Chains A and B, each alone.
Chain A
Amino acid sequence: MITGISPSHSMEVRGQVALEHRQFFEQGNTGQAREQTSVTLEPEFYWEWQSGQSSITFTPFGRWDSLDDNRTHADIRELSYLYFADEFEFKVGISKVFWGVTESQHLVDVINQTDGVESVDGETKLGQPMIHLTWLQDWGTVEGFVLPYFRERTFASSSGRLGMPLLDSDSARYESSHAQRHIDIALRYSHSIDIWDLGFSLFQGTNRDPYLQGENPSAITPVWVPYYAQMSQISTDIQGIFGDWVWKLEALYRDSLDTSTAVTGGFEYTFIGVLDTSWDIGVLAEYLYDSRGKSAPVIGQNDGFVGMRWVANDMAGTEVLFGVTQDFDYSDSRTARVEASSRIGNAWRWNVNAWWFNSDDQQDPLYLYRTESFAEVALTYYY
């Protein structure tokens, strides 16, 4: 631990190791197994000097998976040098950045590629090489990003679960002749004024969301390959607090292989200390829209999300989130999720995550997941 009055040099190691088991309720479409067990390791090494004004963070990550060779993978989540002074911050290396405010999906969060084999919610990201400059002023924060290398999305293999059948992710194609070496740039302005948190972002470079294109469609078994187009995007994320209400909005205009707008917006309302207990109950509702409608290669093109978050405020830090997303275009398409976790002692935490997918329309991207409902139990040790 680095204490309040820190020495001029310091080094620290922390991290986590987890054992995880997924149990699927049905066999996969191509006969994949129902059990999937894996182990993950994510240490973090941190060095600082000049009282922390300069620091290096190194966070490797590895997963070994019993079922899926693609899910058995390693990544550098962070390997970066950070320097900060009063008004600016300079970071160079591999790092992670989060933009956005909504819960049901992270629409405007485009710096890091999604690590698609890790989780269903898309919240796990691959490390992104970057030069990141931050300028802090009274009137807001301006950030500039230069992103010199592109990371391809990870997908489950054909023997794994929660993947896409007949996808050849090794044969990705690019619009830019520089392929993965295209230099992407981004600019962000953000500010907190009174009850408002505001963000406006620009992005110019390789679209993190691949278009899936049919390769040799006349073949007996056509194969899909990811196509990474260029894109220009302008986006905003806005949040306002009104007493117990938090209102959230993310919106973007994206010019890529197609041109589209998308919006995710809604609220969270929190009941504090319900029923004379220390419990908090948050109620969430969000609407997800994409202008491409039914042809959008995303699940949230015209969907509603409702959720409930229960925080026990007990010694163990017990929390449960329950959420349902209903598609308004495909009335039988919906997903439901439960995420529960609690602490054991000082260094352990258990998690139970369950996802249920329902879809019977082949046009809906969710149709691919119709047999993939599962429950996952994880035990994590923190050191």
Chain B
Amino acid sequence: MMLCVASTLSTFAVNAIAAVDAKLDKGLAIAKERKLRDSGWQDSKASLSMVLNNAQGESSDRKIRINTLEITNDGDKSLTIFDEPRDVKGTAFLSFAHAAKPDDQWLYLPALKRVKRIASRNKSGPFMGSEFAYEDLSSFEIEKYRFKYLGDEQQQGQSSYLIEQIPTDQYSGYTKQLVWLDKEHYRPLKMEFYDRKNTLLKTLTFSDYAQYLDQYWRAHTMTMVNHQTGKSTTLTTHDIAFQVGLSDSDFSQSSLKRAR
């Protein structure tokens, strides 16, 4: 009899593990499909604005341009040029995102003509004082997370997958992220970021999606709300062009120095 109970228990445990495995498998499969559908765009040039709002109702504007080069089997390369506020005009930021190791990052300070390397841990720090962390703006790579499918939910009126993402990088500022992807196009509609104490820190909402090259979707409005400080940041893409002919040499320290 005892044996029978033990056997039943172990069967139950095996089934439970199998169910968890299935959720992990499905989570990974959905993430891979998301990545696959956003592969092959090669390069892009975008101009964006960022509006920072604090809890007291004050706001501050930023203007940036981002050139991005898609890298197969690793994170993307990007060059960000700051136009406003005017005291940082001419400052430029070069990032080589990596799938399995910390990103390489350099900042160019035009007044001194100096290129400064930035410690990779800075990825969890705020980008230009905004509610976006550097890592929130880095490219989406499968190796950066462990995935788990949590179920189906309606999100912004669309039938969506709910996926949990656990960052694999020890320097990430998050213990987990929840992502809602629409089932039709695998586009992120909403993300929740949980801090190192596993409490909800920020919510990011994606809207104004437009399709490019008949395939690639980009959200033209991304709003990040920090629940712990009451601050928010809206990142708006005004202009984006794909396959403009950027190459590796546009993402060197030399190109960082002459970026304008």
Interface presence of B47 (CB below 8 A)? yes
* Best-buried of A46, A123, A314, A315 by chain B (most CB within 10 Å): A315
Identify which of A223-231, A270-278, A325-333 touches chain B.
A270-278
Interchain CB contact under 8 A, B85 and A346: yes
* Chain B, residue nearest A240 (CB): B117
Whether a CB of chain B sits under 8 angstroms from the CB of A349 is yes
A4, B65: Cβ atoms closer than 8 Å: yes
What are the residues of chain B within 8 A of A313 when measuring CB–CB? 125-126, 129
User: Known: A4-B47, A346-B85. Is A280-B125 also a contact (CB below 8 A)?
Assistant: yes
Q: C-beta contact mask, A366-382 vs B, less than 8 Å → 1, else 0?
A: 00000000000000101
Surface stretch bound by A, among B13-21, B186-194, B215-223, B251-259: B251-259
Query: Is B119 an interface residue, CB under 8 A from the partner?
Result: yes
* Max count, chain B CB within 10 A of own CB: residue among A55, A136, A245: A136
Q: Does A243 contact B (CB under 8 A)?
A: yes
Kindly identify, within residues 257 to 276 of chain A, every residue whose CB is under 8 Å from any CB belonging to chain B.
Answer: 268, 270, 272-273
- Are B119 and A270 in touch, CB under 8 angstroms? yes
Nearest-Cβ distance from residue A16 to partner chain B, whole angstroms: 8
Nearest Cβ on chain A to B73's Cβ, whole angstroms: 16
Number of chain B residues whose Cβ lies closer than 8 Å to a Cβ of chain A: 47
Give chain A interface residues in 265-306, CB to chain B under 8 Å.
Answer: 268, 270, 272-273, 278, 280
A182 to chain B, nearest CB (A): 24
B54 within 8 A of A: yes
- Cα distance A89–B54 in the bound complex, in angstroms: 44
Binds B, one of A26-34, A80-88, A165-173: A80-88
Q: When the two chains form their complex, are residues B112 and A346 in contact, meaning their CB atoms are under 8 A apart?
A: no
Which A residues lie within 8 Å of B83 (CB)? 1
B58 interface hit (Cβ, 8 Å): yes
Determine if A120 is an interface residue (Cβ-Cβ < 8 Å): no
Residues of chain B contacted by A5 (CB below 8 angstroms): 45, 239, 241, 244
Contact with A136, one of B47, B121, B249 (Cβ below 8 angstroms): B249
CA distance in complex: A2, B254 (Å): 19
| Interchain CA distance A319-B42 in the complex, whole Å | 37
Partner of A197, one of B45, B117, B128: B117
Given contacts A123-B112, A136-B249, contact A244 B126 (CB under 8 A): no
> Does A315 contact B60, Cβ atoms closer than 8 Å?
yes
B203 at the interface (CB under 8 A from A): no
Q: Is A181 an interface residue when CB atoms closer than 8 A count as contact? A: no
Pairwise interchain contact B87-A241, C-beta atoms closer than 8 A: no
How far is A246 from B119 in the complex, measured between Cα atoms in Å? 6
As a 0/1 sequence over residues 174 to 211 of chain B, the CB contacts with chain A under 8 angstroms (1 = contact) are: 00000000000000000000000000000000000000
Contacts of A87 in B (CB 8 A): 249
Contact B120 A241 (CB under 8 A): yes
Q: Does B46 contact A (CB under 8 A)?
A: yes
Contacting pair B87 A270 (CB below 8 A): no
B33 CB–A CB distance under 8 Å: no
Contact B84 A272 (CB under 8 A): no
Q: Is there contact, CB below 8 Å, between B254 and A141?
A: yes
- 8 nearest A-B residue pairs (beta carbon): A382-B86, A4-B45, A315-B60, A313-B126, A98-B114, A349-B87, A98-B113, A244-B121
